Amino acid sequence: MSPLITPRQLKSALDGTEPPVVLDVRWNLLGPPGEREYAEGHLPGAVFVDTETELAAPPAGTVGGRHPLPHTDVLRRALRRAGVNSDRRVVVYDSGDGSVAARAWWLLRWAGHSAVHVLDGGFAAWTAAGLPVTTEVPHPEPGEFVVTPGNMPVTDAEGARRLARTGILLDARAGQRYRGETEPVDPRAGHIPGAYNAPAGDHVTAAGNWRSPTELSTRFTEFGLTETVDAGAYCGSGINACSVILALEHAGLRTPENPAALYPGSWSEWSADPHRPAATGAWPG
């Protein structure tokens, strides 16, 4: 089952007898607020889920990073409020490069949902296709989804350190941050020694659609990644890294049964400890 769904495929599914639950997870670190974008127009039937408060827990000092995984009860309430059940497909979308939607996709899979898709191209692709948008806020019947954490692999700082030396660790941040030329958010600049740079923005085309499996596979195999090599991903705070995990599955280099691992704390956690090394420059180090 592909992790992606096209706007036309979603429209057909919404018109069918068993329409999927649609989650609007638009969010940008620098704004505007996703809830405001949602109020100005969203897909029919879509329920807004807040990335900061429902798809992440509050930061807890230097442990866990800026966007720790959400508390189980918070995620459960958010998904049930949106009408999510285990036997009903879920589609998530954002307004950017698919990274935020990938975080929701990853969390649903981590929580035990097996039928989740990211809308290819997000909100922009939906509107570009001339499909309907509404300001009407739905009130779905509450779902009964049971959040069962642990269905997607995660790693901590020590695990990420080992993976960078014994497998393939991918850094989803923009090249300038990976190379240590700038660091606008976190305590120190640079990257985890041994990690390769795979910017989330490069997973999609200029139009915002995910690149083909062949393009992505070629890109990742250049790092030495194969179906059998241990792989993991991190970013600034654990959100954009989820797009790497989705891209690997879309490329056919990973399966739902054997996904790459996520380092949720990511660079925001790693860089907060001055005893952890930081590499700079274009090479893994």
Cα–Cα distance measured from residue 40 to residue 73, given in angstroms and rounded to the nearest whole number: 29
Report in angstroms the alpha-carbon separations of 121 from 36, 40, 129, 273: 20, 19, 10, 37
Catalytic hit among 235, 246, 248, 262: 235
How far is Cα 194 from Cα 196, in angstroms, rounded to an integer? 7
Residue in the block written with tokens 């429209």: 11
Other CB atoms within a 10 A radius of the CB of residue 224 amount to: 11
In the residue annotation, 242 being an active-site residue is answered as no
HEC string for the chain = CCCEECHHHHHHHHCCCCCCEEEECCCCCCCCCHHHHHHHCECCCCEECCHHHHCCCCCECCECCCCCCCCHHHHHHHHHHCCCCCCCCEEEECCCCCHHHHHHHHHHHHCCCCCEEEECCHHHHHHHCCCCCECCCCCCCCCCCCCCCCCCCECCHHHHHHHHHHCEEEECCCHHHHHCCCCCCCCCCCECCCCEECCHHHHECCCCCECCHHHHHHHHHCCCCCCCCCEEEECCCCCCHHHHHHHHHHCCCCECCECCEECCCHHHHHCCCCCCCCECCCCCC
Name the β-bridge partners of 119. Answer: 5
- Could you give the residue numbers annotated as active site? 235
